[in-house]
Structure 1
Amino acid sequence: MKSKEPAPVAPATGHRAEQPHRATAWPEARAAAARAGTAAGAGREPRRLPLGQALGHVLAEPLRALTDLPSFDTSAMDGWAVAGQGPWTVRADTSVLAGHAPTAALTDGEAIRIATGAPVPPGTTAVIRTEHSRTEGPLLHALRDVVSRQDIRPRGQECRSGDELLPAGTAVTPVVLGLAAAAGYDELPVPPRPRVEVLVLGDELLTAGLPHAGLIRDALGPMLGPWLEALGAEVLGTRRIGDDAEELYAAVTGSAADVVVTTGGTAAGPVDHLHRVLDKAGATLLVDGVKVRPGHPMLLASLGGGRHLVGLPGNPLAAVSGLLTLAEPLLAALAGTSPTGGRGPAPVLDEVHGHPHDTRLVPVVRRGDHLVALHYNGPAMLRGIAVADGMAVVPPGGARSGQELDVLDLPWPPTSGAVPAQGACFT
């Protein structure tokens, strides 16, 4: 018997009486996104990357030393390895060099020239720095008292084989690469980067040229992919889809991404198809609207199988709000990291107006110890966020001058004062 074709997506009705809007408080929405990412990331097997490719990832497992460091007693200085009490008879025409096997054992009263990092010969009592010694013929004299084991780095001084050097979740920096190499690693275990596909929705969007005849330029298509990559995602691509529910359904259900990010269609207008598409796809809404401005119609849905969809509003700054509220904590948890680290809360220089009931996210720059709110912070505007250091979290009712606000820092270096000279971006 022939299987039935999937039912078409129900046409728009202009309202969603069957699914009443229940917005989530802003902190709870971010927590829900982080929980979803943690649950989905728990079953993902780590990858092993060569050291040269692991920079910018995080450790999927603790970094444990594969050897003692140092792995043998080494000289900490250029000078002389000596045995017993001085003066010492110098072994003629021979030296101990780094990268060479240890020389024969020293006997009491004997000295041999040694280089920094070289293995100390068996029987060595101490190393005397070159500047703390003098020679007279075949004899070496110390110019200072000699303490047993001085200037010798003993085997295992930094760590013993099996010691935990760094915990899982540590960002792989150039120094971490160096430590891993010293500890014996050729590869590092890292969580796989979350795969993301961006679906830009709307018949009204142009990809080139000037706006005209009711059409506007697509600002989100060029912006979202690089932003998501900065958050640690592997972006599979950015696709543009018209206001067609069936096309959107096929794109969402056919995507190979761990996270599908859509723009627009999250409200209840005549061409806002996303809720009906998710319902047809059997998705579970985890967050359906957030008490935040701009961006309150954003949503987060589970598509099953550890896959998720983040629905961003279509207005550019509202979409940025959705990125910071839902996409960033979701992706960070999937990748085993924390959301973008900030420099902590700071007092706002002047009063910042808030929403009566919702959290408000406002582009700000840091000026000394204070935050300065930027103008051009409407839902459709990018002029303010383009020069911002981050988005300040303004509680319902607003913030008074001097009040400390948390800041969602952006995943790239701060502007360091790159605000237009006329200051037109400041409120």
Structure 2
Amino acid sequence: MAAGNGASRSAGRSRSSGSASRASEPSLASEPSRASGRSRSSKPSCAPGPSRTSDPIGPNGLENPVDPVDPAAPVDPPPPAGHRSRPAPVAVPWDTARHIAERAAAGPPEPATSALGDALGRTLAAPLTALTDLPSFDTSAMDGWAVSGPGPWRLDHPAGASEAGPPPGILAGQAPTQALRDGHAIPIATGARVPSGATAVLRSEHGEVRELSDGGRRLYAPRPAPPGQDIRPRGQECRRGDQLLPAGALVTPAVLGLAAAAGYDELTAYRRPRAEVLVLGDELLDHGLPQEGRIRDALGPMLAPWLHALGVEAAAPRHLADDADALYAAIAESTADVVITTGGTASGPRDHVHPTLRRLGAEVLVDGVAVRPGHPMLLARLAPHRHLVGLPGNPLAAVSGLVTLAEPLLRTLAARLPAAPYQTPLAAPVHGHPRDTRLVPVAYREDERQGLMAVPLHFHGPAMLRGIAAADALAVVPPGGAERGTELELLELPWSAGSSAGWSPGSSTGWTALGDG
């Protein structure tokens, strides 16, 4: 995925090993390897589930597309009156789905001008052009003395200065009014304006001051001070009118500093997209332990911070019961650029997303993606400038929908440039689905012989978050799988983009490769 900061990545980049602590990943032998295909629940894998069991691992070691039904489990009630079954949608290829999502919006909204601090995380709508030379005057690069001509130099004492004390100097923020005469010197601080007539700055540790018989002082240096030494000349960094950054650059803290130095009080940038998250499900709890068939909501706490990392404005998620009218009202009344729902994207009697979209007259752009986990995701256009992304309810499946459909759409709305795709070799083989793309959590490892490699992590079933919590990226595994050493495209997680955190061989985190298990 594009890194929240849009920075380009390369296949050969290096990462420091072991510089960040990661969650422990137990060995494969302890992993149950269950992968639910349901789209309703937002439960973590370790939470007690409803009275339906699943054994989605088939004889070939791949996730089955559906959960088998426990004969002892209660049978779902018949559809309510008026409910119509929906024909099975045709899943589009994963890369096609991302292409559609990226182009679903015509472009970002109109840019706005705001104070510097309010532009953080937004995208420049126009090039950042210097309003002044940088530096805007000749500046001392060191504490020492401004000197004129070859030494030794007589230290100047401006009128009114005490001959008994040390010679006064030029401090940062002061504007010297007198030229420095040839053969003279005056103390100067780092960042202070160099007086006219000065030819160099002599560092304080390189000079020696000696008393003269007439009560004056003379500055000596062990070696000559060449012209321009330790002076930052006017315009060294840029000249007025130079382009510092192009339109489309992300406003980072460093960009704010550069803009301020270049004379800006305001910046014109595209506003952040606004998203609203609707977490659906009667079975969800927002606190405490799972109990009495109800489970903790794992998506609500995760989605808003994830969206913030992508530069999106998102309020706290709203929880809605499985009620068609409540969902209709929430979507119809929302003013967000993108509404994101969790769960309810299948065609069961309590899955209300599709009927609600029909009721709203929405245009469904993507209805199912050939990707595991997360294939029942969807993308719809609610209005010319409003969209809905329907995520599956299982946590890792929802992450898959987020990076597949939501991130490309929101990137277009924020006018952010996509990260350059890059590939990294696998440290272990990964099973593939016969027909669909797989997204598998991976962590970086610096191998002594192979260089940077991607270690596939355990606990990568649709209902599991343990693997993604320890991951740096998601590996895009083609149908049929990939062997060790195969270079795969990686979608880097927004909080790991640009970081040097990685995995080192022998790390105490205990991350191990998936292998063939």
TM-score (norm 1): 0.85
Shift of 1:421: 5.3
Shift of 1:277: 1.9
1:330-409 alignment, distance < 5 Å: 330-338=409-417, 344-368=422-446, 369-409=452-492
Per-residue deviation, residues 285-340 of structure 1 (Å, max 9, x unmatched) = 22221111111111111111411100111222211110111111222222222457
Distance 1:152 1:211 in 2: 67
Deviates more, 1:391-400 or 1:274-283: 274-283
Residue 120 of structure 1 aligns to which amino acid in structure 2?
Answer: V
Per-residue deviation, residues 362-386 of structure 1 (Å, max 9, x unmatched) = 1222232322223332222223223
Mind listing any 5+ residue stretches in structure 1 that lack a counterpart? 1-8
Residue 367 of structure 1 aligns to which amino acid in structure 2?
Answer: R
Instruction: Select the residue among 115, 127, 131 that pairs with 1:49.
Output: 115
SS at match of 2:393: coil
Residue 148 of structure 2 aligns to which amino acid in structure 1?
Answer: A
Q: Are 1:265 and 1:271, in contact at CA under 8 Å, matched by a contact in 2?
A: yes
Deviates more, 1:303-312 or 1:379-388: 379-388
- Identity rate, percent: 60
Shift of 1:77: 2.8
Q: Are 2:148 and 2:200, in contact at CA under 8 Å, matched by a contact in 1?
A: yes
Instruction: Select the residue among 8, 16, 31 that pairs with 2:99.
Output: 31
Identify the residue that residue 360 of structure 2 maps to in structure 1. Answer: 281
SS at match of 1:261: strand
SS at match of 1:328: helix
Deviates more, 1:357-366 or 1:276-285: 276-285
Number of residue equivalences = 412
Distance 1:182 1:412 in 2: 28
Distance 1:374 1:133 in 2: 60
Q: Are 2:395 and 2:465, in contact at CA under 8 Å, matched by a contact in 1?
A: yes
Distance 1:10 1:121, change over 3 A: farther
Shift of 1:133: 4.0
Shift of 1:26: 0.9
Instruction: Select the residue among 169, 187, 190 that pairs with 1:113.
Output: 187
Distance 1:91 1:255 in 2: 71
Distance 1:15 1:79 in 2: 80
Q: Are 1:13 and 1:270, in contact at CA under 8 Å, matched by a contact in 2?
A: no
Per-residue deviation, residues 221-246 of structure 1 (Å, max 9, x unmatched) = 23222222222221133222233323
Shift of 1:54: 4.6
Shift of 1:265: 2.2
Q: Are 2:396 and 2:460, in contact at CA under 8 Å, matched by a contact in 1?
A: yes
Distance 2:509 2:172 in 1: 56
Matched, 1:91 2:170: no
Q: Are 2:281 and 2:343, in contact at CA under 8 Å, matched by a contact in 1?
A: yes
Distance 1:286 1:384 in 2: 30
Distance 1:83 1:209 in 2: 75
Per-residue deviation, residues 127-180 of structure 1 (Å, max 9, x unmatched) = 333444445524444432343333322111111122222223333444333322
Matched, 1:220 2:335: no
Identify the residue that residue 3 of structure 1 maps to in structure 2. Answer: none
Distance 2:390 2:400 in 1: 11
Shift of 1:208: 4.4
Deviates more, 1:313-322 or 1:268-277: 268-277
Residue 423 of structure 2 aligns to which amino acid in structure 1?
Answer: P
Distance 2:174 2:291 in 1: 74
Distance 1:358 1:330, change over 3 A: same
Distance 1:277 1:419 in 2: 49
Identify the residue that residue 277 of structure 2 maps to in structure 1. Answer: 198
Q: Are 1:354 and 1:395, in contact at CA under 8 Å, matched by a contact in 2?
A: yes
Q: Are 1:98 and 1:117, in contact at CA under 8 Å, matched by a contact in 2?
A: yes
Deviates more, 1:268-277 or 1:351-360: 268-277
Q: Are 2:178 and 2:195, in contact at CA under 8 Å, matched by a contact in 1?
A: yes
Distance 1:276 1:128 in 2: 78
Shift of 1:424: 11
Distance 1:421 1:154, change over 3 A: closer
Distance 2:147 2:411 in 1: 55
SS at match of 2:254: helix
Residue 255 of structure 1 aligns to which amino acid in structure 2?
Answer: S
Identify the residue that residue 37 of structure 2 maps to in structure 1. Answer: none
Distance 1:82 1:251, change over 3 A: same
Distance 1:242 1:97, change over 3 A: closer
Identify the residue that residue 251 of structure 1 maps to in structure 2. Answer: 330
Identify the residue that residue 129 of structure 1 maps to in structure 2. Answer: 203
Distance 1:218 1:419, change over 3 A: farther
Distance 1:99 1:276 in 2: 67
Shift of 1:28: 1.8
Deviates more, 1:318-327 or 1:362-371: 362-371
Instruction: Select the residue among 402, 410, 424 that pairs with 2:493.
Output: 410
Distance 1:140 1:383 in 2: 67
Distance 1:297 1:104, change over 3 A: same
Mind listing any 5+ residue stretches in structure 2 that lack a counterpart? 1-79, 158-166, 447-451
Distance 2:508 2:102 in 1: 33
Distance 1:78 1:211 in 2: 64
Shift of 1:62: 2.6
Shift of 1:353: 0.9
Instruction: Select the residue among 67, 80, 83 that pairs with 1:12.
Output: 83
Deviates more, 1:347-356 or 1:20-29: 20-29
- In angstroms, what is the RMSD of aligned CA positions? 3.0
Distance 1:186 1:47 in 2: 10
Instruction: Select the residue among 273, 280, 299 that pairs with 2:378.
Output: 299
TM-score (norm 2): 0.72
SS at match of 1:247: helix
Per-residue deviation, residues 245-271 of structure 1 (Å, max 9, x unmatched) = 232222111101111001122222233
Shift of 1:354: 0.7
SS at match of 1:48: strand
